[in-house]
Amino acid sequence: MTCPQLILIAGPYRSGTDGDPARIAANLAALEAASLPIYRAGHVPMIGEWVALPILRERELAGVDLGGEDVMYETASRLLQHCDGVLRLPGESAGADNDVAIAHRRGIPVYTSVTELPGYAGD
């Protein structure tokens, strides 16, 4: 068994949804579907929206102005300072592409399939 890694799941969230809540929810469900295989490979799955969405809700409730900061991108950027790898799911997404660019700058692996993860043994 390899040492557990924190793996960021990156893929479309808002992209291609035209702001439709049902399509956004479907994108989040697709991101979350990758969490179990990552966990079964011995790692800790992470999705930036799991961290960013409560911040966005609290910002709105408190009426806090963050000066135009994109909380989603900034949260992912901060989170990636702690991740050991990125699983890039298919689909157009500027945010996911940014996550991959950060991973490359940090020198951490970018996987395009859960089967590439260390410890993956299949279903």
pLDDT one-digit tens code per residue, 30-43: 999 999 999 999 99
pLDDT at 1: 53
pLDDT greater at residue 21 or residue 63: 21
CATH class of the domain at 6-111: alpha beta
Mean pLDDT calculated for residue range 104-109 = 98
Residue ranges of domains in the chain: 6-111
Per the structure block, which two tokens stand in for 59? 């910002």
How far is 108 from 83, CA to CA, in rounded Å? 8
pTM value > 0.85: yes
Backbone angles phi, psi at 70, to 5 degrees: -85, 100
Which residues pair with residue 8 across a beta bridge? 46, 86
Mean pLDDT calculated for residue range 94-102 = 96
112: number of Cβ within 10 Å: 12
Tokens 């989040």 sit on residue: 28
Mean pLDDT calculated for residue range 67-87 = 91
pLDDT at 68: 67
Mean pLDDT calculated for residue range 64-86 = 89
Which residues pair with residue 6 across a beta bridge? 44
How far is 2 from 109, CA to CA, in rounded Å? 15
103: number of Cβ within 10 Å: 21
